[in-house]
Amino acid sequence: MKNLPIEIKIVYITAAIVTMLFIGFIVFVVLMYNRKQLLNLKEKQLKESEHQNQLLQKELEKQKLIEKERERISHDMHDDLGAGISALKLQAEFLKQRAENDDLKNDIDEMLKTSEEMNLSMREMLWSLNSGNDTLGNFIDYAKMYAQNFLKKTKILIITESENIDEETAVSTEQRRNLFLCLKEALNNAYKHSQSDQIKLSFIQKDKEFMMRISDNGIGINHEEPEGNGLRNMKRRMQEQNGHCEITTENGTHLFFRIEL
- Residue 199: give the domain boundaries: 134-261
User: Quick one: 127 and 216 in the same domain?
Assistant: no
Domain boundary, last residue among 99, 131, 163: 131
Domain boundary, last residue among 93, 109, 131: 131
User: Quick one: 6 and 17 in the same domain?
Assistant: yes
Domain count, the chain: 2
Eight-state DSSP code of residue 152? T
User: Quick one: 116 and 152 in the same domain?
Assistant: no
User: Quick one: 162 and 252 in the same domain?
Assistant: yes
pTM strictly above 0.75: no
User: Quick one: 141 and 202 in the same domain?
Assistant: yes
pLDDT tens, per residue, the chain with 261 residues:
556 577 777 777 888 888 888 888 888 888 888 888 888 888 888 888 888 888 888 887 887 777 777 777 766 666 677 677 777 778 888 788 887 888 888 888 888 888 887 877 878 878 877 777 889 999 999 999 999 999 988 899 999 999 999 999 999 888 998 999 999 999 999 998 889 999 999 999 998 899 999 999 999 877 666 667 788 899 999 999 999 999 988 889 999 999 998
User: Quick one: 142 and 93 in the same domain?
Assistant: no
User: Quick one: 139 and 117 in the same domain?
Assistant: no
User: Quick one: 144 and 231 in the same domain?
Assistant: yes
Q: Tell me if 176 sits within 8 A of 210, measured CB to CB.
A: no
Q: How far is CA 16 from CA 9, 12, 23, 25, 256, in A?
A: 11, 6, 10, 14, 80
Q: Tell me if 114 sits within 8 A of 102, measured CB to CB.
A: no
Q: Tell me if 214 sits within 8 A of 175, measured CB to CB.
A: no
CA 131 – CA 170 distance, rounded (Å): 11
User: Quick one: 33 and 151 in the same domain?
Assistant: no
